Chains A and B, each alone.
Chain A
Amino acid sequence: MLAWAGEQAGLRTGDEYGNVDIVAGSPADGARRPGRANPSGSDELQAALSAVARGDEAAFAVVYDRAASAVLGTVRRILRDPAQSEEVMQEVLLEVWRTAARFDPAAGSAGAWITMLAHRRAVDRVRSEQRAAQRESRSAVAAEVGYDEVAEAVEASLDRERVRRCLDSLTELQRESVTLAYYGGYSYREVAQLLGVAVGTVKTRMRDGLIRLRDCLGVD
C-alpha cells in the first residue's frame, strides 16, 4: 500500500508545531486551532497574493516563504526526481507571480490555488513525459516507503498529524484511491488497474474519500 505523506516523509512528532504556512498562520499567531485553517494565516497569504498581483516583489517573497515547501513536496511526490522537482517548483512559483492577478478568492483559498497549480503541473509533466515504460518503474517506487526523503529537511506540522488521522478515517479503498491519485499522480483509470477494481468504483471512492477528508479536516 502506498504510504501517505506523514509516514513517507518521516514524520517527527517532536516538532509537530513546526509550521506549514500555506495552510496556517505564522508561528507568531497565538490563536491557532488544531485542524482548522487559521483564518489570519490564510488571509495573510491571500493578502500577499493580491499585493503580488500589483507587482509587489516583497509580497512575492512572502508567498514564496509560505508556499514553496508545500509546492516542492507535492511536486516531488509525483515526479520523484529531486532536480526536476526543484525546477517545477520554481516554475510554479513563477507562474504564481505571473498570473497572480487572475487568482479569484471566490473560487477558493490562495493556498488551494497555488497547490492546485503545482499538482496539475507535476501531473501534466509526468503524463507528457513518461508513458508506459517509466510508469512501470514508478509504480514499483511508489510502493516503497521512505526512500531518501527522511534525510530531507522536512517540515512537520500540526496539519500533518491531522491529515494522518483523517486519512485513517477513510475506508481503505477511499484512502488508496485518493493517495494514489494525489501523491502518485495516477489517473483514475490507472488507479483502477493498480487496485484491480472497476473504473466507476474508483471515481466514486475518490469523490467520497475527498468529501470525508474535507469534513474531517473541517475545511470549507
Chain B
Amino acid sequence: MGERRTGLHALVGAYVLDAVEDGDRAKFERHLLTCEQCRDDVRGMREAALRLAAAAAITPRPELRQSTLQAATVIRQLPPAVAGERTPALRGGRWLAVRGRVRPWLAGVAACLAVVLAVAAVVLGVHAGAMQQRLTAQEQHDRTMTVVLGAHDAVVLTAAVKTGGNATVVMSHRARALVFTASGLARLPDVMAYELWLTGPAGVTPAGMLPPGRHGMSGPMVVGGLTRGEQLELTVEPATGSRQPTSAPIARLVLGD
C-alpha cells in the first residue's frame, strides 16, 4: 500500500506538533524505525518547535524553583538505557510511547511520584526524624504506604493549595488507601496546623494532622479505609486538631470511583 506509506510520511509535522492521536502516534513511531529521512525531519522540526516554545516563555513564580529542586532530591533517577537496546533517534519517542497508553501522563507521574513519596518517607521518617520509637509506632503506616505506592492501580492526583504549595495524592482503590504529601505549604504559626479530612456521603471525618514540613515537604501521610465518592480536603486548624473543620478547605481532591 504505497498510499499508506505516503500518508505516514505526511504525518511528520503533525507528529512533531503532538497533533496526532495515540494510534497514529504509535504507527508513526514504528515508521520512524525504518525511515532515516523521517528521523532527520523530526529532529529539525523539533528544533523549530523548541523556538516556538521559547517564544512563549513565562517566568515561573520564584517559589516554584525551590520546591522543584527540593522534590528532585528525593526522586530516584532512571539508569541509562542499556547499550544493547540503543536506537538513538528514537529514544525519546519510545520513552513516550510507553506513556502513551490510556492514562498517559498519569502513568508517568505515578511512577515518578511513587518514588518521591517512597523516598520522602525515608528522608522524613527515618533520616531527618531519626526517631526510632516513632518509626516503630509507624510500622503499620509504612506498610500501608508500601502497598499503596506499589499498587498496580495506583493513580496520582494533584491540586494546588489555595494558600500556597501543592498537594499530591497517590491512591490505590484496591487498597482503599492513599498517601498524601504536599510541597511548599505556607508556614503556620505554632498554634496552628494543617489537618486532612475525608468528606463524603457519610459526612466529614478527620483523616489526620499533617506533621510540620521539612525542607518544604510535608507528609507523607497515609489515609486508609476509603469509601466510594469521598473527597480529601485540607484545612488549617488549631494545632491540637479539630473534630470538624473550623475553616474552609484550602485544597480538595476528588478521589473518584
Can you list 29 A-B pairs with a CB-CB distance of less than 8 A?
Answer: A6-B55, A37-B47, A53-B77, A64-B65, A64-B68, A73-B53, A76-B56, A84-B160, A86-B160, A90-B71, A91-B112, A109-B46, A109-B50, A111-B54, A115-B50, A120-B18, A128-B106, A162-B51, A178-B13, A182-B52, A183-B56, A187-B14, A202-B14, A204-B10, A206-B17, A210-B45, A210-B48, A213-B51, A213-B52
Known pairs A91-B109, A155-B59, A187-B19; list 6 more (Cβ under 8 Å). Answer: A6-B55, A84-B160, A107-B39, A112-B50, A155-B58, A187-B14
- Tell me if A70 and B56 are in contact (CB < 8 A): yes
Taken together as a complex, chains A and B put the C-alpha atoms of A173 and B110 apart, in Å, by: 39
Residues of B within 8 A of A60 (CB): 69, 72
A interface residues, tally (CB under 8 Å): 99
Scan residues 62-92 of chain A and give those whose CB is less than 8 A from a CB of chain B: 64-65, 68-74, 76-77, 83-84, 86-87, 89-91
Interface residue from B17, B60, B92 paired with A210 (Cβ < 8 Å): B17
- Tell me if A86 and B103 are in contact (CB < 8 A): no
CB-CB nearest 8 A-B residue pairs = A207-B13, A206-B13, A73-B56, A220-B44, A219-B47, A181-B17, A115-B53, A83-B160
Closest to A23 in B: B54
- Tell me if A101 and B77 are in contact (CB < 8 A): yes
Q: Would you give the 0/1 interface string for A181-210, flagging 1 where the beta carbon is closer than 8 Å to chain B?
A: 111011111010000000010111111111
- Tell me if B58 and A9 are in contact (CB < 8 A): yes
Is A48's CB within 8 Å of the partner chain B? no
Residues of A within 8 A of B100 (CB): 124
Taken together as a complex, chains A and B put the C-alpha atoms of A103 and B52 apart, in Å, by: 21
Taken together as a complex, chains A and B put the C-alpha atoms of A163 and B75 apart, in Å, by: 36
Taken together as a complex, chains A and B put the C-alpha atoms of A182 and B79 apart, in Å, by: 31
Is A153's CB within 8 Å of the partner chain B? yes
Judged by DSSP, the binding face of B is: helix
Interface residue from A4, A107, A203 paired with B14 (Cβ < 8 Å): A203
Is A39's CB within 8 Å of the partner chain B? no
Would you give the shortest CB distance from B37 to chain A, in whole angstroms?
A: 12
- Tell me if A220 and B92 are in contact (CB < 8 A): no
- Tell me if A108 and B53 are in contact (CB < 8 A): no
- Tell me if A163 and B19 are in contact (CB < 8 A): no
Judged by DSSP, the binding face of A is: helix
Would you give the shortest CB distance from B57 to chain A, in whole angstroms?
A: 4
Would you give the shortest CB distance from B33 to chain A, in whole angstroms?
A: 13
Interface residues of B (CB under 8 A from A): 10-14, 16-21, 39, 41-61, 64-65, 67-69, 71-73, 75-81, 88-92, 95-96, 99-100, 103-106, 108-109, 112, 115-116, 158, 160, 166
Taken together as a complex, chains A and B put the C-alpha atoms of A37 and B81 apart, in Å, by: 28
Interface residue from B13, B41, B54, B95 paired with A99 (Cβ < 8 Å): B95
Interface residue from A61, A83, A128, A183 paired with B104 (Cβ < 8 Å): A128
Residues of A within 8 A of B158 (CB): 87, 91
Is A5's CB within 8 Å of the partner chain B? yes
Residues of A within 8 A of B49 (CB): 112, 115-116, 119, 182, 210
Taken together as a complex, chains A and B put the C-alpha atoms of A68 and B10 apart, in Å, by: 32
Residues of B within 8 A of A189 (CB): 21
Closest to B93 in A: A107
Residues of A within 8 A of B105 (CB): 91, 121, 124-125, 128
- Tell me if A64 and B57 are in contact (CB < 8 A): no
Taken together as a complex, chains A and B put the C-alpha atoms of A93 and B103 apart, in Å, by: 20
- Tell me if B54 and A22 are in contact (CB < 8 A): yes
Closest to B67 in A: A90
Residues of A within 8 A of B44 (CB): 211, 214, 219-220
Would you give the shortest CB distance from A171 to chain B, in whole angstroms?
A: 14
Residues of A within 8 A of B43 (CB): 107-108, 112, 220
Closest to B73 in A: A57
Closest to A214 in B: B48
Residues of A within 8 A of B12 (CB): 207
Is A106's CB within 8 Å of the partner chain B? yes
Is A142's CB within 8 Å of the partner chain B? no
